[in-house]
Homo-oligomer: A and B are copies of this chain.
Amino acid sequence: MTDDSRKLLIGRSKMDGLVSMAMMRWRTRVRHFHSVSGVAVPLVGTNMVASPLLYLQSGGPTAVLNASAFGVIETARRLGRPLLAARNGLAGLLDGRLVDTARVSKDDIALLPTMPGGSFGVSRHMIPAYYEAPQEWLAVRDVLERHNIHHLLLNGGNGSMGCAARLAEFEQHTGYPLSVIGIPKTIDNDLLGTDFSPGFPSAAKFLATSMREVVLDMNSMEQQRVFIMETMGRHTGWLAAATTAAARPPGDAPLLILLPEVPFDPAVFLPLLDQGLQRHGHCAIAVSEGLKGSDGLPVAESRHDVVYGHEQLGGAGAWLANLVRLQCGITAHVAQVDCLQRAARHLASNVDIHMAYEVGCTAVEWALNGMHGVMTGIVRQLSATRTWEVVPIALAEVGDLERQLPLEYIDVANLGVTPACLDYLRPLLAGEVSVPYGSDGLPDYHPIAWPDV
């Protein structure tokens, strides 16, 4: 570790409350790359000293998105740079709806990592390629110019990183210098170029904990029982697969997982279900909302989401329960976990909170170091001490791409995961970060009312 990075860590350890205590448990190293082949663009000729940074939260919220925001704000303050943020991500940037983080007290800022959601508001709006929507690019230029902003920090998933990759060519298209840094975030864990996406470990920890608890509940029952947990995951099975971390051989009921990566085959599923019921009397199943049949179509009816533009699936659990009832004569219990899994800050993974914070801090440092066109990717160090590093990943290499669960993580024949998958998952779930509870016995969240610029 360099002296500089050590100083950074010391600075960061001042984070208030429980999170700072938890963070001391890991030694995190942040590699400083001063250029990345092909993407480092020096920004010259602009008034950089007084120029504020702009931070955006994009896509669906997670339990730890605000920990990244905290890292961004804290680091900008430490380095003496003003930080603005857009309300509702790119939608707010287009409309010029900016807020000034400087007018919120340090004490209030310190509460950010305790809250799920996206404190500045999020949006699924993406800015298309310049040639498709030049008017949007010019609208963005107007807003940036008005506030003398030359650094954009975009915190989001693979769609947002695609947008960040496009915006990294802002100067080429508009003549206005803009450095862009991506900060990874998505509970789906389908973002390339990072060991995991902040948000996923906490969702995974909540799902696996709940699965372990429900299996204990199920094992108490005397009669044949099938429990189906429908997880999020339209195109990838990371969240459903994460429930396998709950398995505790021997004696536990088996846990079958049904993933979008593996077309559903009743000829595989039904014998395994029957075998589980025969041997244990019970069977637990985790199914991704995006489970597909052999025809490649979602098993549950696809519904158009009029609100978000995204297709909104769901109902794979109910569909499966119906199949189990018809084929086995058993009424299954179905939990559709929905937003609970991405908002469950009360059960956040310490690794997740910690690294969400780190990728936020690092993004600011890199932006002020002249880096550009990169995402703060996370690399797992395969040492016994389980450290994590933050390294630059070219946005162009990750944007709009999707990381499916690798085939070597899936045990297709047994509807399970391989030991390699568990080796991947377990370090992500490590550590607990409690939230402050109020006198009402519930998490004591204090949403911040950000003032307009």
Interface residues of A (CB under 8 A from B): 57, 61, 63, 88, 91-92, 115-119, 121-123, 125, 205, 208-210, 212-214, 216-225, 227, 245-246, 248, 251, 303-308, 312, 314-315, 317-318, 329-331, 333-340, 342-347, 349, 426, 428-432, 434, 437, 439-443, 445, 447, 449
Contacts and interface: CB of A to CB of B under 8 A. Distances in A.
B306 A329 contact: yes
A339 B214 contact: yes
Contact of A209 (B426, B443, B447): B443
A218 B216 CA distance: 31
- The residue in A61, A246, A334, A339 that gathers the most chain B C-beta atoms within 10 A of its C-beta is A339
Contacts of A208: 442
A449 B312 CA distance: 44
Given A210-B343, A217-B339, 15 more contacts: A63-B213, A117-B213, A121-B222, A205-B442, A208-B442, A210-B344, A216-B447, A224-B307, A306-B330, A333-B338, A336-B338, A430-B441, A431-B441, A432-B434, A434-B434
Question: A330, A333, A442: which has the most chain B beta carbons within 10 Å?
Answer: A442
A193 to B, nearest CB: 24
Contact of A217 (B117, B216, B426): B117
B440 A339 contact: no
A267 B88 CA distance: 33
A91 B210 CA distance: 28
A230 to B, nearest CB: 8
A343 B333 CA distance: 13
Contacts of A331: 303-307, 312
B434 A213 contact: no
A441 B340 contact: no
B223 A308 contact: yes
Contacts of A437: 432
17 contacts: A61-B221, A91-B222, A92-B222, A116-B217, A117-B219, A122-B220, A205-B442, A209-B443, A213-B340, A306-B329, A315-B318, A334-B336, A335-B336, A335-B337, A337-B337, A429-B442, A432-B434
Q: Which residue, of A63, A305, A335, has the highest number of chain B Cβ atoms within 10 A?
A: A335
A273 to B, nearest CB: 14
A453 B449 CA distance: 63
Nearest to A115: B216
Contact of A223 (B212, B223, B307): B307
Given A308-B223, A335-B339, A248 B213 contact: no
A442 B342 CA distance: 17
B442 A343 contact: no
B307 A330 contact: yes
Most buried by B among A305, A434, A445: A445
B225 A344 contact: no
Contacts of A216: 61, 115-117, 343, 445, 447
